[in-house]
């Protein structure tokens, strides 16, 4: 599957495909013990942490960067290690949410992305986003979200295969 769509219909198609890949994975996760959902494989994140990170990604790239929402961050979000001001962003870095809580937050974030994509045209994609001095366009921000969703799904299914191999 090509991830680097650069026009509205292609972005909608790729987003739909990447977003749908999470459905089966979340269904599988719902059958697992809570400890497994919080377990890490090697230096990676747990399934819960991957989903929390995707909430952060959507809030940062869609909520803040594209929509310029004044307080876009859901407290459940988890930033990457190089974002050191999580508390200032309103993130509860010490929280231990359940799968249901994280899935609800990710569903809200994914719905916001889907709704944004529904109304986009080609001219919208070229708009420079005001945050970060316009260094990103709407297209670039959306491509980041899509890639992060795809990559974290790959990590999650790889790790779930290890964690459930004896089940």
Does residue 1 form part of some domain? no
- The tokens for 86 are 């999580």
- 70-116: per-residue pLDDT in tens? 999 999 999 999 999 999 999 999 999 999 999 999 999 999 999 99
**pLDDT reported for residue 165:** 87
Does residue 3 form part of some domain? no
Does residue 81 form part of some domain? yes
Does residue 2 form part of some domain? no
**Residue 127 to residue 143: CA distance in whole angstroms:** 14
3-state secondary structure of 150: helix
Count structural domains, the chain.
Answer: 1
What's the pTM? 0.95
3-state secondary structure of 89: coil
Does residue 56 form part of some domain? yes
Does residue 146 form part of some domain? yes
156: how many CB neighbours lie within 10 A of its CB?
25
Tens digit of pLDDT at every position of the chain (167 positions): 577 799 999 999 999 999 999 999 999 999 999 999 999 999 999 999 999 999 999 999 999 999 999 999 999 999 999 999 999 999 999 999 999 999 999 999 999 999 999 999 999 999 999 999 999 999 999 999 999 999 999 999 999 999 998 75
Asked whether 15 and 113 are in contact (CB, 8 A), the reply is yes
| Domain region containing 88 | 8-163
Does residue 116 form part of some domain? yes
Picking from 127, 154, 160, the residue whose alpha carbon sits closest to that of residue 141 is 127
Query: Which CATH number covers residue 96?
Result: 1.20.120.450
Q: Can you tell me which residue has the tokens 């916001």?
A: 112
Does residue 33 form part of some domain? yes
């Amino acid at each position: 599957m090509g991830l680097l769509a650069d026009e509205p219909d292609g972005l909608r198609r790729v987003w739909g495909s990447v977003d749908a890949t999470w459905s089966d994975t979340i269904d599988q996760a719902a059958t697992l013990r809570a400890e497994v959902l919080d377990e890490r494989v090697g230096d990676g994140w747990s399934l819960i942490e991957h989903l929390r990170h995707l909430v952060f990604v959507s809030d940062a790239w869609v909520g803040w960067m594209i929509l310029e929402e004044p307080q876009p961050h859901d407290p459940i979000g988890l930033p990457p290690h190089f974002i050191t001001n999580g508390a200032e962003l309103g993130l509860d870095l010490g929280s231990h949410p359940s799968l249901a809580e994280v899935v609800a937050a990710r569903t809200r974030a994914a719905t916001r992305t889907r709704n944004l994509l529904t109304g986009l045209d080609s001219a919208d994609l070229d708009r420079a986003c005001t945050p970060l001095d316009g260094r990103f366009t709407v297209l670039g921000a959306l491509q980041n979200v899509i890639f992060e969703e795809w990559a974290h799904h790959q990590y999650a299914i790889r790790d779930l295969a290890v964690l459930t191999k004896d089940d």
